[in-house]
Amino acid sequence: MSVLIDGLQYANWSEKIFRQMREGGVDAVHVTITYHENFRETVLQIEKWNRFFERFPDLIFQGFTAADVAKARETGRTAIFFGSQNPSMIEDDIGLVEVLHRLGLRFMQLTYNNQSLLATGCYEKDDTGLTRMGREVVEEMNRVGMVVDMSHSAERSTLEAIEFSSRPIAITHANPASWHRALRNKSETVLKALGESGGMLGFSVYPHHLQGGSGCTLESFCSMIARTADVMGIDHIGIGTDLCQDQPDSIVEWMRVGRWTKKIDYGEGSASAPGFPPMPGWFHDNRDFGTVAGGLRAVGMSEAEVAQVMGGNWMRFFGESFGPATGG
């Protein structure tokens, strides 16, 4: 079986989920360990993961390099790569980029939905692009080998990050806006720039990102992937499910609200259904990646192309991205 990598999950982690990863043959997952947490709180999340690695060494271990994906395949385990969906944990200290990289952080979004110290989020009315600090942080991320992730960022900020970064960036969990209009989904302009720069897009199965929401069909999703391959190139696409398995609805409030407002921000949901929407019937958990692979074959992708989308492209990207820059 070819390598299987998920470009992003934010599950309510448990032994059950770790065992499902093994049942599904998932070799590596980029996991969100922090949203709005500061540095100390992020360290506590890493401590929590360290206990998982101690308790379930036969199922999971922490990944640091692409070689750890090969190690996972050889040992029948899943490599866990850390990432953040906000730069909150570096606070206003650029030195924490290197510290967190040494602790295993391999991805960092420059924004969540709001303006950050680094760039503009996709929910803001005015997109001012990368800030002065943003450019400095991108350079530091490039130097140490931390991937710039623009999944929740606005268009100008995303295009500037693609242009300014000396290393390819990623949009780990989003879909084309032409397929489904959502603030988080990306324009063809962004997708073309991302592909031309050598970056990666991870396709999301989170219902708010899908055409038809929870009712999205497998055929629609896989046809969209095939069309995006024509836009970006087959080498630059993968899966980034944004799977939030077993999370209580209350966690949505933390994701969307954090500490920045006293009001409830429903984001891409609605006032009548502020929690997590039902997943599409063809993808419930880590045992369903085979269904996606089958759907890709059904819309005409070759075995080699399916292997690239299901993990081969992420594997190459990890190898190019997680180490220090040449001469750095």
Tell me the pLDDT tens digit for each residue of 62-115.
Answer: 999 999 999 999 999 999 999 999 999 999 999 999 999 999 999 999 999 999
3-state DSSP call for residue 13? Answer: coil
Q: What percent of the chain has pLDDT over 90?
A: 90
For position 250, what pLDDT does the model report? 85
In this prediction, residues 110-134 reach a mean pLDDT of 97
For residue 271, is it within any domain?
A: yes
CB neighbours of 45 closer than 8 A, spacing ≥ 6?
33, 34, 37
CA of 279: how far to CAs of 32, 174, 214, 215, 224, in Å? 19, 16, 5, 8, 18
In this prediction, residues 5-34 reach a mean pLDDT of 98
**Average per-residue pLDDT for the chain:** 95
The pLDDT tens digits for 172-191 are 999 999 999 999 999 999 99
Least confident of 47-56, 172-181, 275-284: 275-284
Q: Inform me whether the pLDDT recorded for 328 exceeds 60.
A: no
Element (H, E) at 170: strand 170-171
For residue 82, is it within any domain?
A: yes
For position 274, what pLDDT does the model report? 65
Q: At 266, is the pLDDT very low, low, confident or very high (cuts 50, 70, 90)?
A: low
For position 272, what pLDDT does the model report? 44
Helical H segments across the chain, by residue range: 15-23, 39-55, 67-75, 95-102, 132-144, 155-164, 188-196, 218-232, 250-257, 289-298, 303-307, 313-321
For position 231, what pLDDT does the model report? 97
Q: Determine the Cα–Cα distance for residues 133 and 218; give it in Å rounded to an integer.
A: 41
Q: What are 124's two structure tokens?
A: 């803001």
For position 268, what pLDDT does the model report? 53
Q: At 270, is the pLDDT very low, low, confident or very high (cuts 50, 70, 90)?
A: very low
Domain count, the chain: 1
Q: Inform me whether the pLDDT recorded for 166 exceeds 90.
A: yes
Least confident of 72-81, 274-283, 315-324: 274-283
Q: Select the more confidently predicted residue: 178 or 266.
A: 178
For position 249, what pLDDT does the model report? 87
Q: Select the more confidently predicted residue: 192 or 259.
A: 192
Q: Inform me whether the pLDDT recorded for 8 exceeds 70.
A: yes
Q: At 267, is the pLDDT very low, low, confident or very high (cuts 50, 70, 90)?
A: low
In this prediction, residues 253-263 reach a mean pLDDT of 88
Q: Inform me whether the pLDDT recorded for 220 exceeds 60.
A: yes
Q: At 327, is the pLDDT very low, low, confident or very high (cuts 50, 70, 90)?
A: low
Q: At 134, is the pLDDT very low, low, confident or very high (cuts 50, 70, 90)?
A: very high
Q: At 269, is the pLDDT very low, low, confident or very high (cuts 50, 70, 90)?
A: very low
Q: Which residue has the tokens 């489904």?
A: 180
- Residue 121 phi/psi, 5-degree rounding, is -85, 165
Least confident of 68-72, 257-261, 310-314: 257-261
For residue 326, is it within any domain?
A: no
For residue 190, is it within any domain?
A: yes
Q: What is the CATH number of the domain that holds 146?
A: 3.20.20.140
- Residue 29 phi/psi, 5-degree rounding, is -140, 135
Give the structural domain span for 277. 5-321
- The number of residues in the chain equals 328
For residue 327, is it within any domain?
A: no
For residue 100, is it within any domain?
A: yes
Q: What are 204's two structure tokens?
A: 């999301």
Alpha carbon 86 to chain centroid distance? Answer: 12
For residue 316, is it within any domain?
A: yes
Q: What percent of the chain has pLDDT over 70?
A: 96
Q: At 234, is the pLDDT very low, low, confident or very high (cuts 50, 70, 90)?
A: very high
Q: Determine the Cα–Cα distance for residues 32 and 289; give it in Å rounded to an integer.
A: 19
Q: What are 327's two structure tokens?
A: 């001469």
